[in-house]
Amino acid sequence: MGFLIGQRKVLKTPLNKAPFDRKLVRITSLAFIIPSSIVVGYGIGYLLNWIFHREFFTILFIIIGIIAGFYDLVREILKLNRELDGGKGD
């Protein structure tokens, strides 16, 4: 299986057969999930505070960002675990 980029065919290799640097990049990218979710939540909350002149939007959206970040982190860890196991089991 693969897809074309320009004139060359790019094959999608499973993560358990991928080179070490690809695995390392996927695993270290997990460190940015929660902070980026918090920053996005803060930005949305700050914007809504500015529009509606209410003070609780920033705190509310920071909490929503933390929850969304943890949810996405767990989902990505489970996905990586399945890929490293080669799709065996659940």
List, for residues 26-64, the tens digit of each pLDDT value.
888 888 999 999 999 999 999 999 999 988 999 999 999
Q: Is the pTM of this model over 0.85?
A: no
Stretch among 3-7, 18-22, 41-45, 50-54 having the lowest mean pLDDT: 3-7
Long-range contacts formed by 77-84: CB under 8 A, 24+ apart: 77/30, 80/15, 80/26, 80/27, 80/30, 83/14, 83/15, 83/16, 84/15, 84/16, 84/23
